[in-house]
Amino acid sequence: MDANVAIALFGSFLLLVFLGIPVSFSIGIATVISIAMMMPTDIAIGVVAQRLAAGLDSFSLLAIPFFILAGTLMSNGGIAMRLINLALVLGGRLPGSLGHVNVLSNMLFGSISGSAVASAAAVGGTLAPIQKKAGYDPAYSTAINVSSCISGLLIPPSNVLIVYSLSAGGVSVAALFVAGYIPGILMGLAVMVTAGIIAKRRNYPVETKPTRAHVLKAVLDAIPSLMMIVIVIGGILGGIFTATEASAIAVVYTFILSVLVYRQVSIRQLPSLILESVVTSSIVLLLVGFSTGMSWAMTNAGIPFAISNFLLGISENPIIILLMITLTLLIVGVFMDMTPAVLIFTPILLPVATDLGIDPVHFGIMMVFNLCIGLCTPPVGSALFVGCSVSGVKIQHLIKPLMPFYLALIAMLLAVTFLPSLSLLLPRILGLA
């Protein structure tokens, strides 16, 4: 490994981020600096530009802007309240029922919208006043919302899994989507169990038993929204269309549902919603492009191989190595958003995992699960900030109530990490892994 190049690459990147430069530009500038140490500066700039263009020249990447647009339409299309009503039917009789409703709503809405932040805002903003009126501690309610909104990032369709597929050299998106179901559901259940224990101790109320008519209405209202998952995932698994084609179908379906059926989005609102989606997509795709250049620089400097040799030199025990990788990703997630973390650390850590015989699909789920927890932690946890914003609870008042949920999520992370069958069971049954 060229140590000087490695120091220049990571040192300049961390310095630029610390100075407040956007992550994508920090990656691009750091990459140019490091490559310029290996070749003339004008050639280094040309290499980064070529790698950026090559990194974005991927049919699979088209799925990201389409899924983002579908999620934006869903977030503004009256979906949240219908899914909350369904969750009330499903979890309304459990101890501290509104807490369980929050978790179930986040799992449902998060999987449809593909955004933890949108889920935290939509579900938390709706339930926070209801929970407060019912006598729930606002910090407790916010902690549930923040720790459960991330479950939708594992339950497909998931943009982060598409990014991982690209970074990992073309791991099957369909296999990753299917592999995310069990870990995503387990993540939600871990939060529900923790919330239930706390609610039982505090004697929080249970919702009244709904009538059959109410149950039927809630189910029928939610079916059109839930059908998007069936159409998208069913079409991919059935070989009817690819993940990219499925994303375009998701846009058409959500347009029909939000604009024509529910009529929560008007034609006049569409330009602003499309612009919002374009801005979000641009941020993600710029990160992808620059990160492709950084991966090229790291590979040519021998950084992934050096790190692999270092970790394997410490121990050849897969359990020790996985614990080290898990700890590394948990720390990374605290200081870095998910997308750049996946793009930067997949080329570094995946070779170590494959050397240990770990399936790339399992490693992807483990990695995303790790980084999801970072969304709930300061200083850059976007889900944490949005959850506090919609509930009005200050972050410093939320850290203690969040601790039991952190422990539950980490316990479930270890289970997913060391029990590969949790990730690989469904893909193997369906012949995808």
Task: Kindly state whether residue 86 falls inside one of the protein's structural domains.
Answer: yes
Task: Kindly state whether residue 274 falls inside one of the protein's structural domains.
Answer: no
**Contact in structure between 373 and 410 (CB atoms under 8 Å):** yes
Supply the Cα-derived Rg of the chain in whole angstroms: 22
Specify whether 363 is located in the same domain as 220. Answer: yes
Distances (CA, A) of 82 to 128, 215, 270: 16, 12, 21
Lowest mean pLDDT among 83-87, 217-221, 256-260: 83-87
Is the pLDDT confidence value at 366 over 90? Answer: yes
pLDDT band at 295 (very low <50, low <70, confident <90, very high): confident
Region 382-407 average pLDDT: 86
3 state DSSP class of 103: helix
Is the pLDDT confidence value at 412 over 90? Answer: yes
What does the alpha-carbon distance between residue 391 and residue 408 come to, in Å, rounded to a whole number? Answer: 22
Specify whether 29 is located in the same domain as 81. Answer: no
pLDDT of residue 182: 93
Distances (CA, A) of 126 to 32, 119, 355, 373: 46, 11, 47, 23
Is the pLDDT confidence value at 433 over 70? Answer: no
Mean of per-residue pLDDT scores for the chain: 84
Cβ burial of 417 (10 Å; 0-12, 13-18, 19+) is buried
Specify whether 45 is located in the same domain as 74. Answer: no
Specify whether 6 is located in the same domain as 148. Answer: no
pLDDT of residue 56: 80
pLDDT band at 362 (very low <50, low <70, confident <90, very high): very high
Is the pLDDT confidence value at 368 over 90? Answer: yes
Task: Kindly state whether residue 286 falls inside one of the protein's structural domains.
Answer: no
Is the pLDDT confidence value at 404 over 90? Answer: yes
Q: What is the pLDDT of residues 40-49, one digit of tens each?
A: 877 778 888 8
Instruction: Identify the domain boundary among 247, 276, 301.
Output: 301
Specify whether 260 is located in the same domain as 296. Answer: no
Specify whether 9 is located in the same domain as 143. Answer: no
Specify whether 25 is located in the same domain as 86. Answer: no
Instruction: Identify the domain boundary among 252, 279, 301.
Output: 301
Task: Kindly state whether residue 123 falls inside one of the protein's structural domains.
Answer: yes
Specify whether 131 is located in the same domain as 37. Answer: no
pLDDT of residue 1: 56
Task: Kindly state whether residue 296 falls inside one of the protein's structural domains.
Answer: yes
Specify whether 409 is located in the same domain as 261. Answer: yes
Residue matched to tokens 């990194």? 55
**Contact in structure between 269 and 321 (CB atoms under 8 Å):** no
Distances (CA, A) of 315 to 226, 309, 329, 358, 420: 46, 10, 18, 16, 20
Task: Kindly state whether residue 380 falls inside one of the protein's structural domains.
Answer: yes
Specify whether 31 is located in the same domain as 156. Answer: no
Specify whether 211 is located in the same domain as 360. Answer: yes
Instruction: Identify the domain boundary among 253, 279, 301.
Output: 301
Specify whether 261 is located in the same domain as 311. Answer: yes
Q: What is the pLDDT of residues 54-75, one digit of tens each?
A: 778 777 778 888 888 888 888 7
Rounded percentage of the chain residues whose pLDDT exceeds 70:
98
pLDDT of residue 92: 65
What does the alpha-carbon distance between residue 57 and residue 51 come to, in Å, rounded to a whole number? Answer: 10
pLDDT band at 147 (very low <50, low <70, confident <90, very high): very high
Task: Kindly state whether residue 281 falls inside one of the protein's structural domains.
Answer: no
Task: Kindly state whether residue 283 falls inside one of the protein's structural domains.
Answer: no
Q: What is the pLDDT of residues 321-355, one digit of tens each?
A: 888 889 888 888 877 778 888 888 888 888 888 88
- This prediction has a pTM of 0.83
Region 122-137 average pLDDT: 83
Residue matched to tokens 């990992």? 168
Is the pLDDT confidence value at 209 over 80? Answer: no
Residue type, 297: A
Region 108-112 average pLDDT: 78
Domain range enclosing 92: 58-265+302-429
Give the total number of structural domains in the chain: 2
